[in-house]
Structure 1
């Protein structure tokens, strides 16, 4: 019993200590997390790669220019058979050649394939931006959910501490009455059992609060995941003014998953255009300017030098490739159709999610209002029960029932307001407005 008192005393004392001079409200937690979270930093680097790739040169619009040089040499033994039947042998004939030059290759036209490739790179660049936004929105939703979960767990911790204090007061009353002989040992033992049960729940809840806090610190990528956070918010206040029609309109225009699916469809159409480009001829330009020197170990010429320009144009078209172009284009059209079906399937899924989340949101709002009223009744009921218990008009079991009713009412209200907040977060994420938690004064749906 003394050990339990000691643990409870330490936890009650620790709850009054400010571990940080700064308040970690939701917006500050989000700002820290956006700056430090590893997943966000990784996806931002990946977005930078797509930005770097979206260039004219990578698409093939620009020519390639190469500078090359080389040196070769031969040492030969030469035998010549003459027409008169004699032969001439020369051993160790050394001949060498050196060259240096600049070469240009440029595809002027390839059936609009270059244009299709550049359009694909630009689409991938926008896809990278959407993937970054998707990661950020998921992060904001996860951190906001954990932030409010920590508040809920702290509210429950506070309620359990209150329950322990009530059980302790009841135990004190029973002990005093037991020692003067007005209560039985059974009453005393029951009061101790109830006090120990409440103390056990409180100790377990401390672990739950710790887990939620470390999870929040992990999302913010803090070096010390056990760092204590002073959260100024002690209540969860859902937004009761969401509008279903407005949310759905935003969903159809701003939902990131929907925008990504639309980009996938556009990429499929571009791939088809790129394949169709093979039906057209291609035109390639090549040119070079260089210097060549040849040293001969035999013959009448010792050294030959050449400096000049070479150029040419290549025009061609693929006549027959085993019907592969037809097959690939047919498959590409099927892929476009599949992307359209996936887009329709996603829209249907979004409608389903919106309907379910909206129903849950409205129901939890009603539950929240109802549980607030129930809590007031439960508090009054317990106050009356406690006074009657002190006067000896109520048994310990009946007082315990009133106490449990109060704790359950507090828990139901906390769950209702937390669930309402989760539905609110889900609806805002679905409609592409989740970043309003970070920028409440601005419309960041197109971030």
Structure 2
């Protein structure tokens, strides 16, 4: 698979969701929470034990009788063997069992939310790195194009210098600019490599040196997000907000479990077993018993040093704190959304502006190159036009990438990142 086909963002996400180590770990933790959410773990079901044993005694006995006689026996050997089934079942404990079971189910749902949050973080990180690799490749292509222009300029200068129409200073300057552009290309190759390695690390590839080809070569920001819709989705779907609500629910269930100690408890005990005793002295050589035993226990804690009252007060305070944390988180999300939306709108405007600037810079450089070939423009002026073109391309690429990062962050904040693969090309939509 690796190196044999190009991968889209959707392909990378699908591969990462299957292979990424952090996701595999959190899914295992979710499975543990699901395994724990059982009736037996909550205490609904009885416990049944099978036990057996064997014991013996070896004694020397001395008995003083009322008649004044004394009896002595040595080496008296007695043995006992038993086997039985014992059942214990708490039928009622003040609704504590019910609260415990509800808490286990909430922890199971919490495990699902933790998995979802980890997946959302992964998809956001993977998407950002995917588009960063595109941006760095775009910059590499721009630098290579600039290097080709410098190479062409050097060729022109060398030819002109050979026939005496350009000075040695012009030739040296052209070579310096060519070498400078070559250095930039080499440095950018390293940046592209680092981004590719980071992407492969997120995908958990077996060999980090595997050749990875991505399908996309351009970045298309999505200009059609809606702030009101994003905030509504945040309130309904944000994973951190949902986890905060679950934490409050868990605190409420902990309070119910503490309050359950105010009520009486009812337990059922039963057993069925066999016991055998072997006696060396006495009226019996062997005594055997086979039968059923049962009983019901009802009780209530009347006083425990005011610990229940203390725990109930603390539980109520914890519920209040969970609600305050939820409100604090909601306010923080609102602030984050406001900042991200401002950045998103600003970068969209910059992106549109830089696209226009790039067209102007391309036209300006084309005219400058024609004038340079006609000896109407100096090498320094041509270099300035070349740098202006490269800077315009870089600014447009940065605006595209920053807009895409804001878009990814907004979708993650609103809980919609898992439905995100790649938004439509706005140029195609406008057509």
2:328 matched to 1:328? Answer: no
In structure 2, distance between residues paired with 1:405 and 1:182:
27
Alignment of 1:184-223 (within 5 A): 184-223=167-206
Structure 1 residue runs without a partner (length 5+): 1-18, 442-447
Mark the CA change 1:182 to 1:119 in structure 2 (over 3 Å): closer, same or farther.
Answer: same
1:111 is aligned to: 94
Mark the CA change 1:65 to 1:438 in structure 2 (over 3 Å): closer, same or farther.
Answer: farther
Contact kept, 8 Å, 1:213 with 1:226, in 2: the verdict is: no
Instruction: Give the structure-1-normalised TM-score.
Output: 0.93
Shift of 1:180: 1.7
2:123 is aligned to: 140
2:273 matched to 1:290? Answer: yes
**Greater CA deviation, 104-113 or 186-195?**
186-195
1:105 counterpart SS class: strand
1:85 counterpart SS class: coil
1:15 is aligned to: none
Shift of 1:439: 9.3
Alignment of 1:255-334 (within 5 A): 255-334=238-317
Contact kept, 8 Å, 1:31 with 1:438, in 2: the verdict is: no
Shift of 1:228: 2.1
In structure 2, distance between residues paired with 1:184 and 1:320:
104
2:6 counterpart SS class: coil
Structure 2 residue runs without a partner (length 5+): 425-431
Shift of 1:270: 0.3
1:124-167 Cα distance to aligned partner (Å, 9 max, x none): 00001111111111111111111100100000000000010011
Contact kept, 8 Å, 1:292 with 1:307, in 2: the verdict is: yes
Alignment of 1:19-418 (within 5 A): 20-418=3-401
Contact kept, 8 Å, 1:76 with 1:93, in 2: the verdict is: yes
**Greater CA deviation, 110-119 or 86-95?**
86-95
Contact kept, 8 Å, 2:128 with 2:408, in 1: the verdict is: yes
1:24 counterpart SS class: coil
Instruction: Give the structure-2-normalised TM-score.
Output: 0.96
Contact kept, 8 Å, 1:153 with 1:209, in 2: the verdict is: yes
Contact kept, 8 Å, 2:59 with 2:75, in 1: the verdict is: yes
2:409 matched to 1:420? Answer: no
Shift of 1:193: 1.0
Contact kept, 8 Å, 2:33 with 2:111, in 1: the verdict is: yes
